[in-house]
Amino acid sequence: MTQTRAWLLATRPKTLVAGAAPVAVGSALASTDGRFHLALAFLALTVALAMQVGTNLFNDWADGERGTDGGDRLGPPRATANGWLAPRVVLSASLLSFALAAAAGVLIAAQAGWPLLAIGAASIAAGVAYTGGPAPLAYVGLGEPFVIAFFGLVATGGTYFVQAGKPPAHVLAAGAALGLAATALLAVNNLRDRHGDACAGKRTLAVRLGARFARHEHTLCLTGALICTALTAVLAARPIWLVALAATPLAFYEISQIRTAEGAALNARLAGAARFEAVLATLLVTGMVLGGPP
């Protein structure tokens, strides 16, 4: 195992769509109001990606310390648990990523208002609390609310806010769509890992409520994302934004495929959920660009 490969496994670059998508959509929404600010959009993207990487690295370290990801792991192997990277190095890299997110956040707050620091601090705290602390969110079945809130509403609404001010209802609807799409990834992940998680004491909803619930959760997240996307267009009175519903066949394909997939076969559905969010966000941005300012 090369160091480069180990770091790629630890940072999980394929998950970065969950951080980048809401920033892209939030910035596009600000643009439709004639308030796009390139520097602030770039800083918001820096915060989102640094937060995502920091959280991924912290999860790799924390799960390795707890012994959650052993040799029977069905997903991509973890760098810390397999001894490919020293735990203190992974932890240090995680804290450095959070520090970068904080620095970019300070620059945003200097332009858009210091109260934003409270949101940034809460985001970092949530990233750490996801698998760290005495009662990690992921270990007690609270991963889903965390993802919807911070990878949907906060990321999308916050990106809009720093550029254009208080987000209207259609911005929050778009944030909910992306948060639900990101939660579909979590549902697949937890479905795949439910047996190992149960043995490690990680009480995700898939562990608590079973595989059938996790499959239904995935379906509800994808269909809910489409509904919230349509609601975004309706609330904004911008019919052209409905072009994003062209992602519907992809959602239905993923729903059909997850019905019987088990074990390592679910890795393809994890990639499929990420692909759905990327396509949905891209189509949303495309509709906003085509629609232009009001």
| 285 touches 156 (CB < 8 A) | no
Question: Beta-carbon neighbour count of residue 196 at 10 Å?
Answer: 17
Higher pLDDT, 66 or 276: 276
Give CA–CA dist 160/7, Å, rounded. 32
- Helix (H) or strand (E) holding 260, with range, is none
Is 80 exceeded by the pLDDT of residue 66?
no
pLDDT at 6: 86
DSSP-derived secondary structure for 84-120: SS-HHHHHHHHHHHHHHHHHHHHHHHHHH-TTHHHHH
Q: Report pLDDT for 74.
A: 65
**Max Cα–Cα distance, the chain, nearest Å:** 55
| pLDDT category of residue 239 using cuts at 50, 70 and 90 | very high
**Residue 225 belongs to what H/E stretch?**
helix 211-236
With a cut of 70, say whether residue 14 has pLDDT above it.
Answer: yes
pLDDT recorded at residue 251: 97
Is the model's pLDDT at 292 over the cut of 90? Answer: no
- pLDDT at residue 187, as a whole number: 96
Burial class of residue 27, CB neighbours in 10 A (0-12, 13-18, 19+): buried
Model confidence at 70: pLDDT above 70: no
Report the chain's mean pLDDT, rounded to a whole number: 90
Share of the chain above pLDDT 90, in %: 65
Identify the band that residue 68 occupies on the pLDDT scale cut at 50, 70 and 90. low
CA–CA distance, 212 with 221 (Å, rounded to integer): 14
Q: How far is CA 240 from CA 191, 247, 289, in A?
A: 36, 14, 10
227, 274 contact by CB (below 8 A): no
Q: Looking at the predicted structure, is the pLDDT value of residue 69 above 70?
A: no
Look at the chain and count its residues. 294
Q: How many CB atoms sit inside 10 A of residue 95's CB?
A: 16
Residues 115-138: pLDDT tens digits?
788 888 888 888 888 777 677 878
Q: Is the pLDDT assigned to residue 274 strictly greater than 80?
A: yes
pLDDT-wise least confident of 15-19, 71-75, 229-233: 71-75
Which residues does 74 contact at the CB level (< 8 Å), separation at least 6?
Answer: 192, 193, 196, 263, 264, 266, 267
Q: HSE-up of 80 (CA within 13 Å, CB side)?
A: 24
